[in-house]
Amino acid sequence: MIELQHVSKSFEGLKVIDDLSLEIAQGEFTVILGSSGSGKSTLLKMMNRLVEHDSGRILFAGDEIRSLQPEALRRRMGYAIQSVGLFPHWSVEKNIATVPALLKWPKAQIDARVTELMTLLQLPPERYRKRFAHQLSGGQQQRVGVARALAGNPEVLLMDEPFGALDPVTRAALQLEIARIHQVFGKTIVLVTHDIEEALSLATRIVLLDKGRIVQSGTPLQMLSAPANDFVRDFFGRSDVGIKLLGLQQVASRIRPATGLELTDGEPIPATLSLRQALSIFLSRRVDRLAVVDAEGLRMGSLALQDLLPVSSRPDQQTTRP
C-alpha cells in the first residue's frame, strides 16, 4: 500500500529522516512511535506530500507519489491531526462533507455519508448536524475531524497525534472508536504517537523511531517480548513489561472450563476483557477466581488469579525435585 525506499529528509542541514525504508501493507494498523524529535510527524507528512522528501522513493499503491498531483493524492488519504482544524464558519455536516463535495458526489450520497459517519462516531445527526465547532466539546470536535478524514472513503487514514489534547476518558473512548473502525472496514491506518499504551492497544504493527531511523518494527507482542536492543527495552520500560503483556491478551485465552464446582465471586466478566483489566478486577474485589461469560452473557468458565502468571511461575505447573 505505502512503501518508502531509502528516504531521507533534512531541515536546515539537520537530518530528520535518515535512509529509512518501510512497507505498510493494506489493512494494517501501523503506529509510528518515538520520543519528541525522532521524526514521527515528518515521516507521516511525507506520505501525503505535506512535506517533500529529499531523496529516496515513496510509493503509494505502486505509484511514486511525485507522479501524482498533491491534491489528488491527499483525497485518497484521509488526514486527522491533534488540532482538528475544523472550518469555524461551517456546520458539522459541511465540515464532514468537505472531500465528497470536492469529489462532486451527488447531494443525496453526501447526506447519506455524513449521517453514516456521525452515527458511527456517536454524534447523533439530528442533534449535531447543524452545530458549529464552537458549540462542540473537544472530544466532539475530534470525532468530527475523524469523520471528515473518512468521508471520502480514503484508501489510507493518516493520523498525527489525534488524541493528544483530550482528557483521558475522551481519549480512551476515541481510541476504541478508531479500533472499531479498523475492525469493521479493514482500513489501512497509520497513526503517530509518543504514547506507548496507545500504541500497544491499537497497533497491529509498531514502528519505533529514534533520530530518524527505525530501531525496531514488529507486533506489540514482539516489541515487548523480544526487544532488539537496550534502547527498545528501556523505551517500553523494563519494570512493567509483564503488566503491558497482560494488556495484549484477552481473558478468553486463559479460561478454565466450567465444572460447576468452582467458587466465583461477583458479576462475571466478559471473555473479551484484557488480562490486565481482569487483574484490576481481581485486586478491587479481592478474590482469586472470576466467572467468565461470552458476548451473549452465557457462562464459558472461569479465570483464576494464578492464571495471570507466566506458565513457569504457576503453582500448578511447578514440579518438586526428588
Best CA proximity match to 118, nearest among 89, 97, 87, 88: 97
Res 314: pLDDT? 47
126-144 average pLDDT score = 90
Please report, for residues 51, 94, 113, 139, the alpha-carbon distance to residue 42 in angstroms, rounded to integers and kept in the order given.
7, 29, 31, 25
Q: Per-residue pLDDT tens for 237-295?
A: 877 888 888 888 889 989 988 766 556 667 899 998 989 889 999 988 888 899 999 98
- Statement: residue 108 has pLDDT above 60: yes
Rounded to whole angstroms, how far apart are CA atoms 49 and 280? 44
Contact status, residue 44 vs residue 158, Cβ threshold 8 Å: yes
More confident residue, 162 or 123: 123
More confident residue, 27 or 322: 27
Rounded to whole angstroms, how far apart are CA atoms 225 and 243? 12
Res 263: pLDDT? 62
Contact status, residue 137 vs residue 171, Cβ threshold 8 Å: no
Written as nine digits, the cell of 316 is 500448578
**Which domains are assigned to the chain?**
2-236 (3.40.50.300), 251-317 (3.90.1280.20)
Q: Per-residue pLDDT tens for 26-63?
A: 999 999 999 889 999 999 999 999 999 999 999 999 99
132-139 average pLDDT score = 89
Res 319: pLDDT? 40
Q: Per-residue pLDDT tens for 290-313?
A: 999 998 888 898 999 888 876 544
Q: What is the share, in percent, of the chain residues with pLDDT greater than 70?
A: 93
Res 120: pLDDT? 84
Contact status, residue 206 vs residue 225, Cβ threshold 8 Å: no
Average pLDDT of the chain, as a whole number: 88
Give the predicted TM-score (pTM) of the model.
0.80
Res 28: pLDDT? 96
Report the C-alpha dihedral over residues 125, 127, 133, 135, rounded to 10 degrees: -170
Distant-in-sequence, close-in-space partners of 145: CB < 8 Å, separation ≥ 6 = 80, 81, 84, 85, 86, 162
84-108 average pLDDT score = 91
Rounded to whole angstroms, how far apart are CA atoms 45 and 73? 12
- Statement: residue 320 has pLDDT above 90: no
Contact status, residue 65 vs residue 59, Cβ threshold 8 Å: yes
- Please tell me the number of Cα atoms within 13 Å of 262 on its side-chain side: 19
More confident residue, 287 or 9: 9
Written as nine digits, the cell of 294 is 461470552
Band of residue 83 on the pLDDT scale cut at 50, 70, 90: low
Please report, for residues 206, 207, 296, the alpha-carbon distance to residue 194 in angstroms, rounded to integers and kept in the order given.
12, 11, 37
- Statement: residue 163 has pLDDT above 90: no
62-70 average pLDDT score = 94
Res 133: pLDDT? 87
Rounded to whole angstroms, how far apart are CA atoms 216 and 205? 10
Number of other CB atoms surrounding residue 252 within 10 Å: 16
Rounded to whole angstroms, how far apart are CA atoms 191 and 44? 8
- Statement: residue 322 has pLDDT above 60: no
